[in-house]
Each structure stands twice: as structure tokens, then as C-alpha cells.
């Protein structure tokens, strides 16, 4: 039944799980379809857990070695806010440092536990985004359908670096903060939920540099909630950003033509549905822009709710903002995008999927125009969007398959080289480079840091 003047259709539950959409009942053919959809996130998580507990190394990798210095200070009871607030490259990773130190202290640096916690946080991110979509879209069937692509994006095996490097909690916590922000904005009921959105934005900002993009990305959504809340949003943003950028290290001018940076940004955004093919990624991100344009046309014609659109557009803007920041701060002589960045590019696709899905529902529910030509044009645009979304789904499956293969190869050398690190002070250069790739392994005191772990019975030496 629908109340007079109500914008949304209420859900009617029967033995056949029917949902009224556009005045008609829409039924999923059989309950087994629900179970099949639910198996997607479960399968994604189980495979990641299998990688973590059977195919990962017990030794720190790359940036994790810097955490040893914080552990040493914690052991000496001299750890202060100054060390937690300090930059790691261009990032202030306050929240990830605190979480990592607590887990290290509790487990003796069990990397597998750290990685499992990262997966739990990502699972919570998925739950928050699906809950936000549920609040945005009252018919339950589209939300159930969205579980599959949302899971393949948020828990993508193409992000294998995020699953197999505990240090990547910096990016994972950022994405979690963004999901909190979306959930807080969608539930526009009282000041408490707005505080929820602010808390998510602060969490994202204190997890990585990319988190700062949350403030401009969701500013339109804050403005849609009223002038006072927009002013509060801007004030909190300044309180976070100004101290953050104080004494920020500079890495010099990064050369490269603007056209190359646009191409890199497109590759960045397309990777979640095209990994590992850069040309395909550029094409898919362009297709994503087309889908978004079609969806916005449908919303403008049928009268979609502006506030909801601005929230999901904020998610898109954050993903695009992270892509742009990376393209401006990296030497892009190669268009290769590391898999860890897919977590932000996935936000771009999640927002597009949400807006496209809402556009289709809005079109079906709209009774604003009785003009046949008008409705045919809207139907054509919506159909084009559906066809393109199906193409993107195939790319999403391919990206997950390729990511799983890359993950297995990524950990193979690390597991094989663990024995040569039993005595780190005598480890060969080739062995050390497995755990700290690059040319400056000796300058980063990796052998000395590993030796400290050995003497304190942590990580591999527990």
C-alpha cells in the first residue's frame, strides 16, 4: 500500500517475497536466487581468508618495517603523540598506527590476525554501503541484486595488496570512514546521524591523505541538509586540513603533460573492472562516465531526489579525487596502477551503480509525463545504461580472477624467502629485497629492525 503524498512505496511481504514497484509486484523467481546472491560476498571473503592464512608471509613487508620503530618506542614507554601524528611520506596515518600497535601488542605481531582485521573492516564497509543503498531505495529487490556487484568491488581480489599487506589498513580505514559518511548522510533524521557522517570524515582524514578529499566531495551533500550543517562541515574541515598540511613534506615537481595525467586517471578509475589491462581500464572508465551521464539524464527528466543523488555523487567524487591526487603526485612514466589503489577507484563504480540503479527505479515509478515519446526516450537511455552495466559486470569478474592469480604470485617469493631471514644480520641482499623492494633497503635499516623483532620474539620469530 502507498500513503497519499508518500514518496516511497512501502514493502509488502508475502509468502513469495513480492515487492510493489510502479504499482505492480516484482518477484524474484525463487528463494534460491537470494541464497545464490548471498554466496557472492561469502565466497569473496572465504578466498581472501584462505590467502591470508595459507599463502601469506609472517615477516613485515616494505612500509611495515617503519612500524618497528614505533614498536620499539612502545616497548620503552616513550611513544608519544608526536610519533603517531608524524607523516609517513605524505600521509598522516594516526588511526592505522594506533590499531596496528594494539594488535601487535596483543598478538606478538601476528600478520595474519592483522590482515583478518582488515578484512573485517572491509566487510563492515560493504555492509554500511548496502545499508545506505537500502535507505536510498525502498524496494528490496534492487538492493539484493546490488549485493553481487558491490561485493565484487569492495571485496575484490584485484585489491590483493590491501588483503596481504597489513599496512594497507591506512586505505581500508579510509574507505570505512567514507562508508560511515555515506550512511550518516543518507539517514537524514537528526543531528546524531550527521555526527555519524562527520565522524566518518574525520576517521578517513586521519587514515591517509586521500581521506582529505572527503570534505570537498561531500560538501554539496552537507549543503543540501541546510546552512547550519554546511557551516559545521566547513569548520570541521578547516580544523582537520590546516594542521594536517602543516610541514607536509614535498617530493619535488612531478613532470608530465596534462593529457598523460588524464589518461592515468582514467586507467586508475577503470582498474576495478579491467585489471590488469590498462587500455581496457581506460575504456571502461570512459564507459562509466557514459553510464553516469545516462543515469543523471533519467533523474533530471523523472525528478529524482536531489539530496540522495548528491550523497552518492559524493562517493563518486571522492574516488575521482583520489585518482586525481595520485596522478598529480606520481611519476607517471608508466600507466600501471598498483592494485592497492583499486579500493578508491571502487568507490567511483559503487556510486555509479547506485545512481544508475536509482535512475531505473525512478523511471519505473515516475508518472510525471503521459507523453509516449517522452517515456520512450527515457526508456532508451535507461536501456543503454543497463547494457553497459552488464559489460562492466563481465570486466568485474575478470578483474577478480586476474587479481587472485597475482595474489598467489605476490606471496610465493615472500614465503619461499622466510628461511633466509632467520638470521637477518646475515641475510643476502637478494633476500632483503624480497621484503623491502627498491634500492634503499640498507638505508632503511631492515636487517637491524628484523633483528629487533627476533630478540623480542615477534612476527616470524614468535
Q: What is the pLDDT of residues 61-95, one digit of tens each?
A: 999 999 999 999 999 999 999 999 999 989 999 99
Provide the pLDDT for residue 145.
83
In whole angstroms, give the CA distance from residue 57 to residue 38.
30
In whole angstroms, give the CA distance from residue 326 to residue 131.
29
| Contact present, 273 and 335 (Cβ < 8 Å) | no
Contacts of 62 (CB under 8 A, 6+ apart): 165, 167, 435, 436, 437
Residue whose C-alpha is closest to residue 93's, from 82, 103, 85, 101 = 85
| Grid cell at residue 138 | 525502498
Residue whose C-alpha is closest to residue 95's, from 172, 194, 159, 154 = 172
Least reliable range by pLDDT among 4-18, 46-60, 104-118, 248-262: 4-18
Provide the pLDDT for residue 52.
96
* Portion of the chain with pLDDT greater than 90, in percent: 52
Give how far Cα 298 sits from Cα of 82, 206, 301, Å. Answer: 51, 37, 5
Kindly tell me the burial class for residue 203, based on how many C-beta atoms sit within 10 Å of its own C-beta (0-12, 13-18, 19 or more): buried
In whole angstroms, give the CA distance from residue 324 to residue 101.
31
In whole angstroms, give the CA distance from residue 341 to residue 265.
11
Residue whose C-alpha is closest to residue 178's, from 193, 199, 151, 161 = 199
| Selected residue with higher pLDDT from 222 and 34 | 222
| Contact present, 148 and 99 (Cβ < 8 Å) | no
In whole angstroms, give the CA distance from residue 462 to residue 458.
5
Q: What is the mean pLDDT of the chain?
A: 84
Q: What is the pLDDT of residues 412-461, one digit of tens each?
A: 888 888 888 999 888 888 888 889 887 666 667 889 999 999 999 999 89
Contacts of 388 (CB under 8 A, 6+ apart): 287, 290, 291, 294
Q: In this model, does residue 368 exceed pLDDT 60?
A: no
Count of beta carbons in the 10 Å neighbourhood of residue 231: 12
Residue whose C-alpha is closest to residue 59's, from 439, 340, 427, 409 = 427
* Portion of the chain with pLDDT greater than 70, in percent: 81
Q: What is the pLDDT of residues 147-200, one digit of tens each?
A: 989 999 999 999 999 999 999 999 999 999 999 999 999 987 666 778 889 999
Provide the pLDDT for residue 6.
38
In whole angstroms, give the CA distance from residue 120 to residue 173.
11
In whole angstroms, give the CA distance from residue 272 to residue 154.
10
| Selected residue with higher pLDDT from 253 and 337 | 337
DSSP state of 7: S
Q: What is the pLDDT of residues 268-322, one digit of tens each?
A: 999 999 998 989 899 989 988 988 888 888 788 777 788 899 999 999 999 999 9
Q: State mean pLDDT over 248-252.
A: 72
Does the pTM of the predicted model rise above 0.85?
yes
Q: Which of the four pLDDT bands, split at 50, 70 and 90, describes residue 11?
A: very low
Q: Which of the four pLDDT bands, split at 50, 70 and 90, describes residue 372?
A: low
Provide the pLDDT for residue 359.
82
Pinpoint the alpha helices (H) of 252-371: 258-270, 278-302, 306-329, 342-365
| Contact present, 153 and 269 (Cβ < 8 Å) | no
Give the pairing of strands 91-92 and 24-27: unpaired
Give the pairing of strands 87-88 and 91-92: antiparallel
| Contact present, 399 and 156 (Cβ < 8 Å) | yes
Provide the pLDDT for residue 15.
39
Provide the pLDDT for residue 256.
61
Q: State mean pLDDT over 45-63.
A: 94
Residues in the chain: 462
Amino acid at each position: 500500500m502507498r500513503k497519499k503524498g508518500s514518496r516511497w512505496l512501502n514493502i509488502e511481504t508475502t509468502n513469495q517475497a513480492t515487492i510493489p514497484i510502479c504499482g505492480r509486484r516484482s518477484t524474484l523467481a525463487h528463494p534460491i536466487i537470494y541464497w545464490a546472491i548471498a554466496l557472492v560476498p561469502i565466497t569473496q571473503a572465504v578466498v581472501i581468508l584462505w590467502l591470508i592464512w595459507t599463502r601469506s608471509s609472517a615477516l613485515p613487508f616494505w612500509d611495515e618495517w617503519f612500524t618497528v620503530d614505533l614498536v620499539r618506542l612502545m616497548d620503552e614507554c616513550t611513544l608519544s603523540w608526536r610519533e603517531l601524528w608524524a607523516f609517513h611520506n605524505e600521509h598522516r596515518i594516526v588511526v592505522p598506527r594506533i590499531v596496528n600497535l594494539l594488535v601487535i601488542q596483543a598478538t606478538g605481531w601476528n600478520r595474519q590476525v592483522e590482515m583478518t582485521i582488515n578484512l573485517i573492516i572491509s566487510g563492515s564497509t560493504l555492509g554500511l554501503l548496502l545499508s545506505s543503498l537500502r535507505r536510498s531505495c525502498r524496494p528490496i529487490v534492487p538492493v539484493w541484486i546490488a549485493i553481487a556487484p558491490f561485493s565484487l568491488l569492495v571485496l575484490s581480489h584485484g585489491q590483493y595488496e590491501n588483503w596481504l599487506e597489513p599496512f594497507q589498513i591506512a586505505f581500508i580505514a579510509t574507505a570505512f570512514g567514507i562508508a560511515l559518511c555515506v550512511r550518516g548522510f543518507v539517514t537524514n533524521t537528526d543531528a546524531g546521524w550527521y555526527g555519524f557522517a562527520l565522524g566518518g570524515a574525520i576517521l578517513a582524514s586521519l587514515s591517509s591523505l586521500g581521506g582529505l578529499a572527503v570534505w570537498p566531495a561531500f560538501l554539496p551533500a552537507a549543503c543540501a541538509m541546510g546552512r547550519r550543517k554546511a557551516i559545521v562541515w566547513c569548520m570541521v574541515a578547516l580544523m582537520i586540513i590546516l594542521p594536517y598540511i602543516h610541514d607536509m613534506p614535498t617530493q619535488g615537481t612531478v613532470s608530465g603533460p596534462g593529457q598523460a595525467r588524464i589518461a592515468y586517471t582514467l586507467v586508475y578509475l577503470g582498474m576495478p573492472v579491467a585489471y590488469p589491462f590498462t587500455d581496457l581500464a581506460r575504456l571502461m572508465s570512459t564507459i562509466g562516465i557514459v553510464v553516469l551521464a545516462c543515469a543523471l539524464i533519467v533523474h533530471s527528466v523523472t525528478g529524482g531526489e536531489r539530496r540522495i543523488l548528491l550523497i552518492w555523487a559524493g562517493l563518486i567524487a571522492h574516488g575521482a579525487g583520489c585518482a586525481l591526487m595520485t596522478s598529480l603526485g606520481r611519476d607517471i612514466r608508466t600507466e600501471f596502477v598498483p592494485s592497492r589503489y583499486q579500493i578508491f577507484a571502487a568507490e567511483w563504480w559503487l556510486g555509479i551503480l547506485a545512481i544508475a540503479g536509482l535512475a531505473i527505479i525512478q523511471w519505473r515509478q515516475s508518472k510525471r509525463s503521459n507523453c509516449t515519446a517522452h517515456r520512450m526516450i527515457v526508456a532508451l537511455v535507461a536501456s543503454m545504461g543497463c547494457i553497459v552495466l552488464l559489460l562492466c559486470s563481465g570486466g568485474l569478474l575478470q578483474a577478480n580472477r586476474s587479481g587472485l592469480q597475482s595474489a598467489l604470485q605476490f606471496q610465493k617469493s615472500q614465503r619461499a624467502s622466510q628461511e633466509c631471514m632467520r638470521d637477518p644480520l646475515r641475510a643476502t641482499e637478494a633476500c632483503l629485497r624480497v621484503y623491502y623492494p627498491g634500492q634503499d633497503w640498507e638505508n632503511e635499516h631492515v636487517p637491524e629492525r628484523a633483528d629487533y623483532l627476533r630478540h623480542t620474539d615477534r612476527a616470524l620469530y614468535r
